[in-house]
A and B are shown apart, each in its own frame.
Chain A
């Protein structure tokens, strides 16, 4: 070091500086290495990085309105969003409407505005038909064509739509509404769905992760500690579902869990359903399982004793009532006994039609179905990292702990378990991140309340065609995952994670 500084840079025998020489020597090997990874790099860029970036940009940028309605856009962007819309704006709007109708692009522009203010689609198309015959004053003419043109919030909504670079979608993904005057407010109550959905997605992912851990840990332990032959056999059993199509496995769960499915048949046959039912009646806290069984209990009661049961049901607190009970009580108080009993008969017929007649549980097409099927599908992702970590823990540690006086439990808990933490971390991260973006299983077996955020993204991609909102929802999901990753790194440490 001191040599180099006092006599200038080190050189090779032919006088070139050592550093440059070294770089020249390394360059060839670097080039070769790059050449080897270049195809993969190009592939990832082309099919992964670029499309995702482009799609993410859509979450902020939607130039539809600006493209098809340029004149009104210009004035709307200058407008402060608070004052009365001017005659000038109305004139520009009419001109744009005429042009867009001629270009047959009015539908697209209208759809864009409709995303901000529902009902405006028909207003646009209808007004556009009449626009060619309109004469000044244009504002009055517009209001005459459709009274909503007179509302300032409609103009505000159009202003939002006209703003191509907009936080509106990301705000919408968080149940917020971006108004034309620049303010942000909560979405109206009955349209606040995204936060609930994100929370439910997190909840389902968390429960699935915990279930996978609870089920996978003992299996991984067996895999790592059984004799090689038995362990190999067990490993095949773990991997077998892994190699089976997700669709097949999910469909198999439908056959297992449906009203007339294997599990319900077995429970009805063994009388276990009655036990569970009594237990649930005791606590009245039954989540998903409740529906069919408890309902049928109430329905059967009404059919058997009529008035008496209805009185009891009416006396119950509203949140303790099953959906069927609530319905019958409502009809009872509105239209009397006869109508309520008739409703009970209808409910019974409906239940029988779906196979829930004789006290069967609904475990599919709801959250329970999603949880069961997802846990099953993601289980290997927990078992494999756990197994690979446990495999490396020598049995000598447990022996040592026991020879030092620890009971089996203490030896496990204080010596074995802490050494499996890297595997638990890896497995949980893997399962949670896979679960949070899960799509096909909830779509197939989730019913109403088992839907996750990905199903909504899919809905906006394929049905409502609101790609920008889909991008924003995806973006929020990505941010959540990255945040969790960061949190995990802070708490456990990423380098403390072993996949095998």
Chain B
């Protein structure tokens, strides 16, 4: 799953930098290759430069430095209207003075297509987003979800090969958002288009994407498929940003092959997979997913004493906050099954984990 190379690379950022004010680099050295037909998500906190990247790709902002290629050709000097890239905006940007049908016909009219052809394409794309009966409505007469579908349809109707979406589901409620995620994914698969998707909702990114580029501070922290990103984060930012995560600070005291021996700030020493921790003597941050903690099992490889601080009943599992090595924000997910004895607040119990599940990352 390395960055695509060779013929099938469709979109390519090469050492792209962007500064709005000549003082701060909003995007620092972006390198990203997206294959034809791929669904790539840019995920990152607010202000990390995701929209800026998308706007540079669409042609509304110029890269301060570097090259952006589409189908092998540099598009730095091609104006937006000639790039043939479909874009779905965060607030949809449906033209309020046109009906749904006119909105959809707009990209076809500016391409000077015939009336009958326009009619046919508009009808087809409306059916695709299941909005067949809404052609003569105004955008203001549609619900948020319906507007979203129309915005999507408008980006699709002129058969662009690349579709950009900037937080398209941001304004929808949870249930609708999940339904739309599924539909967008479905359309992506059936049309074989390439999608660059921007969101700051990690579960959305995990559900929809082929690959996710995690952004922070204008730099891609990690680019990988969802499973890798979750299972094997490469640095502390990704580990904390994707999914729930327990962190323990410590110091590397020894290395043995792929593993590192780490002395925790609270005293005890544990083994962890050395991913990004540097040499002996460095500070490091250990990352363990809450569901990978083995509880009440004194025979596990890395056993620590833990005291139960808080219990939250969540049906299928119980969230248990514990004090471990002097840190009382350690979370453990206990499956709600007969095999697990009920825990009580204040109780002290041994916890542990398999060495590979604990990753020694850069200290923040």
Give A residues with C-beta under 8 Å from B.
394, 396-397, 399-408, 410-411, 414-415, 418-419
Contacts and interface: CB of A to CB of B under 8 A. Distances in A.
B84 interface: yes
Given A405-B111, A406-B81, A399 B93 contact: yes
B106 A414 contact: yes
Nearest to B55: A399
Contacts of B158: 404-405
Contacts of B89: 396, 399-400
Contacts of A406: 81, 106-107, 110
Interface of B: 58-60, 79-87, 89, 91, 93, 95-97, 106-107, 110-111, 154-155, 158
Given A396-B91, A399-B60, A405 B97 contact: no
Nearest to A418: B97
Given A400-B93, A402-B59, A404-B110, 8 more contacts: A397-B93, A400-B87, A400-B95, A401-B106, A402-B79, A403-B60, A404-B106, A406-B107
Contacts, number: 62
A187 B106 CA distance: 58
A418 B102 CA distance: 14
7 contacts: A399-B58, A402-B80, A403-B87, A404-B81, A404-B106, A404-B158, A418-B97
B170 to A, nearest CB: 13
Nearest to A421: B97
Given A396-B89, A399-B60, A399-B89, A404 B97 contact: no
A162 to B, nearest CB: 60
A418 B155 CA distance: 22
B85 A403 contact: yes
A228 to B, nearest CB: 14
B87 A410 contact: no
A368 to B, nearest CB: 38
B93 A402 contact: no
B106 A407 contact: no
A394 B91 contact: yes
A146 to B, nearest CB: 72
A193 to B, nearest CB: 45
Nearest to B80: A402
Contacts of A397: 93, 95
Contacts of A419: 96-97
A152 to B, nearest CB: 66
B93 A405 contact: no
Contacts of A394: 91, 93
Contacts of B155: 403
A403 B58 contact: yes
A119 B342 CA distance: 119
**Candidate in A396, A404, A407 with the most chain B CB atoms within 10 angstroms:** A404
Contacts of B154: 404
A396 to B, nearest CB: 4
Given A396-B89, A396-B93, A403 B106 contact: no
Given A399-B60, A418-B97, A405 B91 contact: no
A410 B95 CA distance: 13
Contacts of B80: 399, 402-403
A217 to B, nearest CB: 18
A246 B84 CA distance: 53
